[in-house]
Structure 1
Amino acid sequence: MKPPAHLLLPALLLMILPLPLTAQVPISGPLSGLLADTTYQILDSIYVDYDDSLTIEPGAVLLFPDSSKFRVYGDLFAVGTSRDSIYFLPDSGVTRWGSLIFQVGAGRESVLSYCRFSGACASAINCYQASITITHCTISDNQANWGGGIYCSQASSPLISACVVTGNQSFNNGGGIYSTGFGTDPVIVNCLIAGNASNQGGGGSGRGGGGLCANHQASPVVSGCVITGNHCNENGGGISINDNSHPQISQTLIWGNSADSSGGGVFVSYWCNASFSNCEIAGNQADGFGGGLCLVDSANVFLQRVEIWGDTAQTGGGLAVLASRPTLDRCTVAGNRSPAGGGLYISSSPLTLQHSVVAGHPEGDGVVFAASDSALISHCDFWGNLPAAFSGNPPEGLGILTAVNANGDSCDAFGNLAADPLFVSAGMPDHRLQWGSPCVDAGLPDSLDPDGTAADLGAFCFDQGAPVRLLLVRPGTPLQVPAAGGSFDYTIQVTNITAAAQTAAIWCDATLPDSSTVGPTLGPVTAQVPAGATLSRLRSQAVPAAAPPGPYVYHGHAAAGADTSHDSFPFVKLGGTDGDAGGGWANAGEPFPRAATAAKDGFTPADMRLAVHPNPFNPSTVARYELRDASYVSLRIYDTAGREIATLVDGWKEAGAHQVTFDGSDLASGVYVYRLAAGATVVSGKMVLVK
């Protein structure tokens, strides 16, 4: 099977820009001190010795000969900037250089930031009992036997944050990242792992992992990542977990990966204990078992608030379980495809399934029980599965509607429904629940949702804690914005669940790969929402070319009185150019009824007062501002180069006087710029730190 055709890899590889190679400085052997901003020709392998440290300045370019390695026994500080990276590349005429290797005993303080690695033949970065920091790096077009991009072993626990790992290959396991061994617990946060490939000719004990592999008791922590477009010639197109490994994976999108054998999205085997929470596993493909996930050989997997949709396989479109022990709590399994187990295929495995929805499988039945040992299935909804909800050997009484639940809906003896879940949009798809869905409050009464009501069924609870609920309805496939910038359409849906009209303030913003926030990109606008009504407005959001590459989260907010409803969805930026990442986020589309921005309501600069005192200051000063009307407010501090230094205010503020303290104890003397934005009004000025 060929991997699915994605545009990710070509677009991402464009981020390795041509370099203006000027005069080259030859270096070799031991290094310490400082490598300034210039181009270096490595004559032979180089290294940083024990108790030594080396700092590489932004803009430096290191060109390596064939298979040459850079070993670090001491400390390495390679810290570039968003506009001036540090490059590790093969020299002209060289096909592949070796690797950057952090050896046993390398300093824990070592940092790689805004670095670009390409053309390595033995993993771009190797960590052997070295827990370093790797952040904002681009790691592309590298190769290795294991871990084409990054290899972690011998109790290494690096922090890998806001990185782009793309187009790497491994002969065996872990095309993008490979972690192995007890105590090897890398923390992988807000990374884009895309277009990597594994098992390109070999096997390997990790059994696969096109994007990521955890093997031999490794326990990576993965959060806020996008794992997409990866391929494995064996198992686990996106992720492979093997041999007593215990990863924790949360808030991660696993989409569009493929495997020639099993586990298009995820493959788990051999006594592993893996947990997934608040994840989306969608659009993956396997030739064998488990388009979304495949669990084999005594794997124990816990899934909570996981959405599994649009996956395909020969057996078990969404999930295939063989001799393992899965638990699904508050999950949605919908619209997957397989001739044998459209939703789930369960063989010789005790299944626990509760507070979940299994719906909309056009073939292969909702759940196939093939030689299943036992099953505990309660308070779920099975709807629209063809040709039947269940086949094989389901538990006695499952799906036979003989009772009524607390909502007055027909159910079986275990509280399971057979009713239309009333998704926001089954065709888009958007599997959140509409107001009035039979899945709302249909769970166990002593199992509560965050709003304090009885558990809803499925991956998404309907928030009844706010009088007005906001939803952002995105297109059906995960969003990708080209490197040159672009836009995406989405729908804002606002529902008033009360018996009285509500006035809501609505705004949107976005979280960047470095966890900073841009916005508000929309509003705030005020909207009148009639009692019991739902308002929907189509909007278009621009994303500028200067926005950096990586995973983003787009947020919407609706404040009614003292309560605020929030919603979000992820998207990916495939590249970036130099410039102001905070500008160019235009938002347009259908207006809300009686909506008006604060500026249109008469909010002018004269209505917003800002004073910073003392100024000059040492080491702290107080910013005092006054608002005529309630508004979304941001107050940020920048240096004279335009780099954001601090965010002092970022949220909804009521009318009246406010103050906040800025502490410059850790900053150098100099001029700094403050920028206060409220609605359409911006006030900025300078302040001087004198030490």
Structure 2
Amino acid sequence: MRYGTLFLLLAALITPACATVILVPGQYPTIQAGLNAANPGDTVQVSPGVYVENLTMREGVTLRGSGWHNTTVDGGGLMNVITAPYGVLNYTIEGFEVRNSQQSGSAPGCIGIHLNPNASSGTKYVRDCWVHNCGHGIQVWNDFGGTANIEHNIIEDNLYDGFSPYLGTVNLINNTIVNNSRDGYNDWSGGGMVYIKNNVIAGNGRYGIFPHPSTPVQISYNDVWNNSGGNYMSGSPPQPFTPYPGTGEISTDPMFLGGSFGYYPSWGSFPVPGPSQSPLIDAGDPAVLYNDPDGTRADIGALFFDQTQHNVEVTITPTGLWVVPPGGGTLNYTASLINHEAAVVTCHSWVMVQLPGGGSYGPVLGPLSLSLPGSASITRLRTQNVPGSAPPGEYMYTAHVGIYPTTKWDSAAVPFTKQSAGDGSYSLEDWFCSDEAASPALETTALAAAEKPAMAATPNPFNPVTAIGYQLSAPGHVNLRVYDAAGREVANLMDGWREAGSHQVTFDASGLPSGTYFARLCAGNVTQTQKLILLK
């Protein structure tokens, strides 16, 4: 009996602790404080916001933001923004905007994300990040036998190179590496196996892909275009080379959507093929492993064009004369959405304004995330403010329904006129639209015919932080947003790719009043809503 007790005691001592989710700023005020408290297997979940920090990763930890459009790590112009130093071999960094490292000087010290394991093992992931306005974008150093997976990142506008590896195995897959002042890819010293696949590498100031002659590099299904000194260069002095194996390589204008929508591929005539379709769409590796979240063949680049199609109609019926006086005014109208299908459809609705001089502005409404019951229609009365600072001329007010921002299933447009005055010095806040929110009843519509991802919030009721866990039966694109009782979006907690299994995000309601909120999870074509009670 005594030996059995001793055995159980020893087993308890050597059994690893259960992985935990550490909430920033809910439990720790800074990201680094959360990392310092983390053990291998833990996740540091960072709520939306701007965090001025220079971070050091910990072994075995997942550092997860709430999407690069929500969570920013700003290096303050000092050192690297995120560093994984010697001995830190296994980790994940995902879902951040990473910006403003030290801008000059030698590396390391001026890098957005710097991985430097100095070891012959380990697996690293950097994905779903936007790295810009740093000295270098992402670098991997001294990875003598490990694997670095660099996936679905936007790496742009950095002072030197976009991405640089040294040794180890590198999978550079589905990234958009553009407009860096020197090279898109720069392998300066030779080493391990590098796979460059499904990337856009364009508009960089010197070379597109510049590998060391001794590095075995496999290059396929990329769009390498318009790099100032050449697309594929190697050696000293640099000479053009033919990419190997070169399968699926293209070199053409990627036709990004542009403007506020950045690096999404465009397709103006969707679903009809034509000259408005970006060459990136369905041009990636055809293996099912790389398929886009909508199930179609992989697009090239970090962001994909969602080809989901549904028969949903949008209409706008103006009330009165749509002429705005010099000092500004309002446009009144009735908006309707009609689901012509028998099943529930999840979608977005948003409104853009075409300006007198051309170009598109907005969205001035939305995007609203909706679940439309089968064969249902929804009608709302809305009032759109037009600021006096808007320049005079003829405008077009256009409502869209589909998958924001790329995919438009239907559109409805009404012209209006703005009279004289106006200097164009307005912001989106000046174009507010009353009754903007979707109906709370609509948001909580049950999806009886669909298999739901399991979702639960703990604690609930809560004050002021709760953890929302969800279970995915298959990998896919996940969007998790929180709305107040009026249907206004108050937080975007997750917007990105997730593997099958259990996941958890944090909702920090420190800045919100007590009341009822709704967490809405969209995974593929399936949606679930969870009621949340905030008690302060």
State the TM-score, normalizing by the size of structure 2. 0.52
* Shift of residue 561, structure 1, vs aligned partner: 10
* Shift of residue 214, structure 1, vs aligned partner: 1.6
Match of 1:320 in 2: 164
* Shift of residue 453, structure 1, vs aligned partner: 2.0
Secondary structure of the structure 2 residue equivalent to 1:414: coil
- Describe the shift of the 1:256–1:232 C-alpha distance in structure 2 as closer, same or farther (beyond 3 A): closer
The correspondence for 2:23, drawn from 139, 143, 160, is 160
Match of 1:685 in 2: none
- Describe the shift of the 1:558–1:505 C-alpha distance in structure 2 as closer, same or farther (beyond 3 A): farther
Query: 1:230-287 deviations in whole A, cap 9, x for unaligned?
Result: 15865x33343441332222221112223753251111012442212222111112xx
- Describe the shift of the 1:223–1:158 C-alpha distance in structure 2 as closer, same or farther (beyond 3 A): same
Secondary structure of the structure 1 residue equivalent to 2:302: coil
Match of 1:267 in 2: 114
Match of 2:137 in 1: 292
2:98 matches 1:254 = yes
- Describe the shift of the 1:370–1:662 C-alpha distance in structure 2 as closer, same or farther (beyond 3 A): closer
* Shift of residue 424, structure 1, vs aligned partner: 1.8
Query: 1:20-42 deviations in whole A, cap 9, x for unaligned?
Result: xxxxxxxxxxxxxxxxxxxxxxx
Match of 2:514 in 1: 643
Match of 1:310 in 2: 157
* Shift of residue 432, structure 1, vs aligned partner: 1.5
Match of 1:329 in 2: 173
2:32 matches 1:188 = no
Match of 1:219 in 2: 61
- Describe the shift of the 1:344–1:465 C-alpha distance in structure 2 as closer, same or farther (beyond 3 A): farther
Q: How many Å separate the matches in 2 of 1:650 and 1:429? A: 23
Query: 1:590-609 deviations in whole A, cap 9, x for unaligned?
Result: 6225469xx999xxx9xx9x
| Contact 1:295-1:322 at 8 Å conserved across structures | yes
The correspondence for 1:439, drawn from 256, 280, 297, is 280
* Shift of residue 187, structure 1, vs aligned partner: 1.8
Match of 2:10 in 1: none
* Shift of residue 423, structure 1, vs aligned partner: 1.5
Partner AA of 1:249 in structure 2: I
| Mapping for residues 273-672 of structure 1, pairs under 5 Å | 273-285=123-135, 291-298=136-143, 300-313=147-160, 317-338=161-182, 341-349=183-191, 350-363=193-206, 365-392=207-234, 398-399=242-243, 413-425=246-258, 430-435=262-267, 436-447=277-288, 448-466=291-309, 505=337, 537-539=360-362, 555=367, 591-592=397-398, 594=413, 635=485, 643-647=514-518
Query: 1:416-457 deviations in whole A, cap 9, x for unaligned?
Result: 0111111122x8782211121111111232332222222110
* Shift of residue 323, structure 1, vs aligned partner: 1.9
- Describe the shift of the 1:193–1:243 C-alpha distance in structure 2 as closer, same or farther (beyond 3 A): farther
Query: 1:621-646 deviations in whole A, cap 9, x for unaligned?
Result: xxxxxxxxxxxx97469xxx951234
Q: How many Å separate the matches in 2 of 1:347 and 1:468? A: 54
Secondary structure of the structure 1 residue equivalent to 2:111: coil
- Describe the shift of the 1:293–1:464 C-alpha distance in structure 2 as closer, same or farther (beyond 3 A): same
* Shift of residue 415, structure 1, vs aligned partner: 1.3
Query: 1:113-148 deviations in whole A, cap 9, x for unaligned?
Result: xxxxxxxxxxxxxxxxxx9xxxxxxxxxxxxxxxxx
Q: How many Å separate the matches in 2 of 1:536 and 1:326? A: 40
| Contact 2:211-2:217 at 8 Å conserved across structures | no
Which is greater in Rg?
Answer: 1
Partner AA of 2:125 in structure 1: S
| Contact 1:279-1:307 at 8 Å conserved across structures | yes
Match of 2:473 in 1: none
| Contact 1:219-1:245 at 8 Å conserved across structures | no
| Contact 1:433-1:460 at 8 Å conserved across structures | yes
* Shift of residue 332, structure 1, vs aligned partner: 0.8
* Shift of residue 335, structure 1, vs aligned partner: 0.6
- Describe the shift of the 1:185–1:258 C-alpha distance in structure 2 as closer, same or farther (beyond 3 A): farther
Q: How many Å separate the matches in 2 of 1:332 and 1:240? A: 23
- Describe the shift of the 1:468–1:155 C-alpha distance in structure 2 as closer, same or farther (beyond 3 A): same
* Shift of residue 156, structure 1, vs aligned partner: 9.0
Partner AA of 2:202 in structure 1: A
| Contact 2:232-2:240 at 8 Å conserved across structures | no
- Describe the shift of the 1:455–1:230 C-alpha distance in structure 2 as closer, same or farther (beyond 3 A): same
Q: How many Å separate the matches in 1 of 2:188 and 2:168? A: 9
- Describe the shift of the 1:421–1:643 C-alpha distance in structure 2 as closer, same or farther (beyond 3 A): same
Secondary structure of the structure 2 residue equivalent to 1:179: helix
Higher relative contact order (CA closer than 8 Å, sequence separation 6+): 2
| Contact 1:156-1:184 at 8 Å conserved across structures | yes
List runs of 5+ in structure 1 lacking aligned partners. 1-130, 132-153, 169-173, 197-209, 286-290, 401-411, 470-502, 507-519, 528-534, 543-553, 564-584, 609-632, 652-659, 669-691
- Describe the shift of the 1:587–1:295 C-alpha distance in structure 2 as closer, same or farther (beyond 3 A): farther
* Shift of residue 468, structure 1, vs aligned partner: 9.3
Partner AA of 1:267 in structure 2: H
Partner AA of 1:440 in structure 2: I
Q: How many Å separate the matches in 2 of 1:395 and 1:560? A: 57
Q: Give the number of aligned pairs.
A: 343
Partner AA of 1:643 in structure 2: S
Say what the alpha-carbon RMSD is for the aligned residues: 5.2
Q: How many Å separate the matches in 2 of 1:218 and 1:180? A: 12
Q: How many Å separate the matches in 1 of 2:311 and 2:214? A: 44
- Describe the shift of the 1:219–1:457 C-alpha distance in structure 2 as closer, same or farther (beyond 3 A): same
| Contact 1:541-1:587 at 8 Å conserved across structures | no
Partner AA of 2:298 in structure 1: A
* Shift of residue 219, structure 1, vs aligned partner: 1.7
| Contact 1:326-1:351 at 8 Å conserved across structures | yes
Secondary structure of the structure 1 residue equivalent to 2:233: strand
Query: 1:621-679 deviations in whole A, cap 9, x for unaligned?
Result: xxxxxxxxxxxx97469xxx95123439899xxxxxxxx99899x999xxxxxxxxxxx
Secondary structure of the structure 2 residue equivalent to 1:431: coil
* Shift of residue 180, structure 1, vs aligned partner: 8.1
Partner AA of 1:279 in structure 2: C
Q: How many Å separate the matches in 2 of 1:232 and 1:663? A: 39
* Shift of residue 293, structure 1, vs aligned partner: 1.0
Partner AA of 1:281 in structure 2: V
- Describe the shift of the 1:558–1:355 C-alpha distance in structure 2 as closer, same or farther (beyond 3 A): farther
Q: How many Å separate the matches in 2 of 1:450 and 1:649? A: 19
- Describe the shift of the 1:463–1:648 C-alpha distance in structure 2 as closer, same or farther (beyond 3 A): closer
Q: How many Å separate the matches in 1 of 2:39 and 2:27? A: 26
Q: How many Å separate the matches in 2 of 1:421 and 1:327? A: 22
Partner AA of 2:91 in structure 1: P
Secondary structure of the structure 2 residue equivalent to 1:437: coil
| Contact 2:152-2:303 at 8 Å conserved across structures | yes
State the TM-score, normalizing by the size of structure 1. 0.41
- Describe the shift of the 1:155–1:465 C-alpha distance in structure 2 as closer, same or farther (beyond 3 A): closer
Partner AA of 2:74 in structure 1: G
* Shift of residue 555, structure 1, vs aligned partner: 4.6
